[in-house]
Structure 1
Amino acid sequence: MCEIESWYMDDSSEDKRLPHKLTPNEPVTLEELQKLGVFHWKLNADIYENDPGLQRIREERGYTYMDIITIHPDKLPNYEEKLKMFYEEHLHLDDEIRYILEGRAYFDVRDKNDRWIRIAMTKGDLITLPAGIYHRFTPDETNYTKAMRLFVGEPVWKAYNRPADDFEVRQKYVHSLKCS
């Protein structure tokens, strides 16, 4: 696994597509992300259709379903509405798995102390966010991301906006943080 760039975010209400780094910057390591259940691989997105590395990850982790989404004003119907939905803080009952094929984007996740961590995603980054973690997504200022979405079994698109602390998956996730 290669290192991915991530950092604690500032509280600015400026354009959400900007980096939002603190001054001075407070980087977050891959090891710290892993303690939150966030995992990352760097793959060759130019060969995603026949990449043995991607195939191995899919087989090992049981990712049987995939599709591709292009997030751009000209490609995604109701672009602004979808971006607002993606950026609303939420969780899922299943892991969220995304592989950036083109473009750039950010995933924001909450740490144990409820602080936002911004994860910069670029071409070739594959990330898994555990079920029950509060997170959100936005493209960067280029407004372009092409991503593969992967699922174990049938795709589940349902997001549960915060507060969703009563969900069993959230309680299990919070418990796992206390054990790590």
Structure 2
Amino acid sequence: MRAYYFDDEPTDQRLPHDSGEEVSLDTLSHLGVLYWSIPVGEGDSIPAGVDAIAKERGYKNRDTINVSKEGLGDAYETKIKGFFEEHMHEDEEIRYILSGSGYFDVRKHAAKQDDERWIRVLCEQGDLLVLPSGIYHRFTLDMNNKIKAARLFQDEPKWIPHNRGVETDVNSHRVNYLSTLPPIAVA
């Protein structure tokens, strides 16, 4: 895993978009983003370390998603566009990368919306990433165009994106998320 500020250049979303400004695990943690590195088991099996975290955090269900042209078929282009729309979920988003790689972009909250920046998180095989309920984020593949991930869920599997907008800004999960963040220093 590697995290850095997104450069906002208007080029292919699958490129690194590396601003050269690294982001620490502490910064991600302050945003509620959690990370573990756990080597994948033989044959893409879920290792005991992931099972232990799942049990500790109350993740009862899981499935596997293969985000690639082969894995998504005719839905590929539509899904990739949808994943890259800025959105939030009312549940945590938990992904354990079995193979391939891609980028999760998380929005760093700021006092003014114009000052919010994207933090790009490169996830590769063995990375376990937890995005908190209510955080604005998006996902894209990198230039390899494929990622296989286990998705973990606290309850029944669901993935309902709420695209950013006036209604989403006041969604109770978004408001609760913002209340967990450290105060923002205003200059």
TM-score by length of 2: 0.90
Provide the C-alpha distance between the structure 1 equivalents of 2:105 and 2:82, rounded to a whole number of angstroms. 14
Provide the C-alpha distance between the structure 2 equivalents of 1:107 and 1:13, rounded to a whole number of angstroms. 17
Aligned match of 1:135: 137
Q: 2:58 aligns with which of 36, 45, 62?
A: 62
Q: Secondary structure in 2 aligned to 1:153?
A: coil
Q: Does residue 74 of structure 1 match 2:70? A: yes
Length, aligned pairs only:
175
Aligned match of 2:113: none
Q: 1:91 aligns with which of 88, 93, 96?
A: 88
Residues 7-58 of structure 1 deviation map (CA, whole Å, 9 limit, x = unaligned): 0011111000001011xx1000001100000000111113463522111111
1:160 corresponds to which letter in structure 2?
H
Aligned match of 1:11: 8
RMSD between superposed Cα atoms in Å: 1.3
1:73 corresponds to which letter in structure 2?
K
TM-score by length of 1: 0.93
State, as a whole percentage, how many aligned pairs show the same letter: 45
Provide the C-alpha distance between the structure 2 equivalents of 1:173 and 1:100, rounded to a whole number of angstroms. 25
In 1, are the aligned partners of 2:5 and 2:117 still within 8 Å (CA)?
yes
Q: Secondary structure in 2 aligned to 1:58?
A: helix
Unpaired segments ≥5 residues, structure 2: 111-115
Aligned match of 1:178: 182
Aligned match of 1:115: 117
In 1, are the aligned partners of 2:96 and 2:126 still within 8 Å (CA)?
yes
Q: Does residue 49 of structure 1 match 2:45? A: yes
Unpaired segments ≥5 residues, structure 1: none
In 1, are the aligned partners of 2:30 and 2:182 still within 8 Å (CA)?
no
Provide the C-alpha distance between the structure 1 equivalents of 2:103 and 2:47, rounded to a whole number of angstroms. 24
